[in-house]
A and B are shown apart, each in its own frame.
Chain A
Amino acid sequence: MTIRKDLQLIADLVPANARVLDVGCGDGELLDYLVNERGIDGRGIELSQKGVNECVSRGLFVVQGDADNDLEEYPDQSFDLVILSRTLQAVHRPREVLLDLLRIGRQAIVTIPNFAQWKVRADLLFRGRMPVTKSMPQTWYNTDNIHFCTILDLFDLAESEGLKVRSFVPHMRNGRRLDMGPKLANLMAEQALFLLEK
Chain B
Amino acid sequence: MRPAAGKTATLFKDTPLALDGGAMLSPVTVGYETYGTLNGARSNAILICHALTGDQYVASDHPITGKPGWWERIVGPGKLIDTDRYFVICSNVLGSCLGTTGPWEENPATGKPWGTDFPVITIRDMVRVQAALLDHLNVESLMAVIGGSMGGMQVLEWIATYPDRLHAAVMLATAARHTAQNIAFHEVGRQAIMADPNWQDGRYYDTGARPEKGLAVARMTAHITYLSEDALTAKFGRNLQGREAVSFGFDADFQVESYLRHQGSTFVDRFDANSYLYVTRALDYLDIAGRHGGRLSDAFKGASHVRCCVISFTSDWLYPTIENKRIVHALNAAGVPVSFAEIEAAHGHDSFLLDVPEMDHMLKGFIAAAARTRGLTGGTGA
Contacts and interface: CB of A to CB of B under 8 A. Distances in A.
Interface of A: 43, 49, 52-65, 73-75, 78
Nearest to A51: B341
Contacts of B344: 49
Kindly state the interface size class of chain B when it binds its partner.
20 to 34
A61 B333 contact: no
Q: Is the contact region of chain B dominated by helix, strand, or loop, or is it mixed?
A: helix
A58 B365 CA distance: 7
Interface stretch (B21-29, B39-47, B210-218, B368-376): B368-376
B116 to A, nearest CB: 43
B345 to A, nearest CB: 11
A60 B307 CA distance: 10
A58 B364 CA distance: 11
Nearest to B344: A49
10 contacts: A52-B339, A53-B365, A54-B365, A56-B309, A57-B366, A57-B368, A63-B332, A63-B340, A64-B340, A78-B333
Nearest to B336: A61
Interface of B: 307, 309, 325, 328-329, 332-333, 337-344, 358, 361-362, 364-366, 368-369, 372-373
A156 to B, nearest CB: 33
B301 to A, nearest CB: 14
Given A49-B358, A53-B361, A63-B332, A58 B340 contact: no
A53 B309 contact: no
Closest 9 CB pairs of A and B: A57-B365, A59-B369, A56-B365, A64-B341, A61-B337, A63-B340, A53-B361, A52-B341, A56-B339
B369 A56 contact: yes
B338 A61 contact: yes
Contacts of B369: 56-59
A58 B341 CA distance: 15
Contacts of B337: 43, 61
A49 B341 contact: yes
